[in-house]
Amino acid sequence: MTAKDALGLPLSGASTAAAELYQQALDAYACYSGEPFPKLRAAIADSPDFTLAHALMGYLSLVGGNARLRELAERAIAAAAALPADERERGHVAALQAFAAGEMRQAGRILEDVSIAQPRDLLALQGGQLSDFLTGDARMLRDRIARARPAWTPGMTNYHAVLGMHAFGLEETGHYARAEAAGREAVALQPKNGWAQHAVAHVLEMQDRRAEGVAWMRAAPQAWTEGSFFAVHNWWHLALFHLGLDETDEVLALYDEKIRAEPSPLAFDMVDAAALLWRLQLRGVDVGARWGPLAEAFAAEPRGHSAFEDAHAMMAFVGAGREAEAAETLSAMQAAAEGAGEHAQVTRDIGLPVAEAMWAFGRGDDAGAIERLRGVRNHAARFGGSHAQRDVLDLTIIAAAERMGDAALARAMTAERAAAIPAVV
């Protein structure tokens, strides 16, 4: 008899014991917390032909990690592709292959069809929302989950995760009240759900509710930090709230004590660190020697595979004065831009101009930085990230305009940002 997951979906190649281990790993992934890798290794040791155990290993390893994890992901995807699978599982394998090839939108479309057929497939929803995040597709961040929500009811395993994902999609499409309600409900159901915690933080950030944001993040940090592999990003959100309140000493303390206390080699964590230091530097805050170790970490990783990550690596190299690595990054991005497919196009259209702008800003070429950023800012969602993350582009334009004495542009951009903050009623 074929083993099944907690919601009754079949799991090809799994014993009952391996299915339970897989479910525990999936539950951890739903919270971005816990120890999914040991559970998956144990499941695969028990059932080597367990297709989705290999697939989940691929999802966990492929995006936002480092070169070592990408190698692990490639092995996991190859293993899954060689195993028997039903239509749903074949969809996951095809989506992972698209992810690995840099075809994020294709991966998202494949998982969209999986979710339409099987709306209770949490892995398809979570992998699909990841693709939407990486491509900046705000509408699908919301609607992918909205389509599935009628199939989920309170009390179901990982119902909190569906609420948390919907909360983020609602926030990125400006439905702030509904997003906040869904995110808070998700956290109430499962305090370890770091994604839902972050969805509420995004609402408070976009509404400029900084003091409330500090209170939200500091109320129970042990819940969203203990065992979490998403904690750095949530500490970053807390730092943004303090930065908005001009509490730069708090920001630097969070950087030193939380964000880079034990320097993570994972790309998503390094991106947050670079973005935070860049924001501080735009404000004229002396960040001391902090750029150096971060630049060293970026230099240890290959570049040219993610336009979003490469743009942040450029921030670190500019901040640290690492001209050789900055030039290498531009060369890697130019080579990627000359290729074919989605990654090449996004690098060519968005990533490379952003990296060139950061390089120009660092060299004092404010006009060059502004020209490049103004050319891409309205389309920058295509290279991924959230509204809050991409705000660094507008902040750089404002800083460059102020530095070169273009008061009119700085005033116009500042007014634009202020007008985008909705009234809280």
11-47 pLDDT per residue, tens: 999 999 999 999 999 999 999 998 999 999 999 999 9
Assess whether pLDDT exceeds 80 at residue 65: no
Assess whether pLDDT exceeds 90 at residue 401: yes
Q: What is the pLDDT of residue 232?
A: 96
Which of residues 293 and 2 earns the better pLDDT score?
Answer: 293
End-to-end CA, the chain: 55
Q: What is the pLDDT of residue 67?
A: 77
Assess whether pLDDT exceeds 60 at residue 350: yes
Q: Which of 316, 327, 257 is nearest to 289 (CA)?
A: 316
pTM of the entire predicted model: 0.95
Q: What is the mean pLDDT of the chain?
A: 95
Residue type, 127: G
CA distances from 241 to 24, 26, 278, 411 (A): 34, 31, 15, 23
237-247 mean pLDDT: 97
Check if the beta carbon of residue 112 is closer than 8 Å to that of residue 89: no
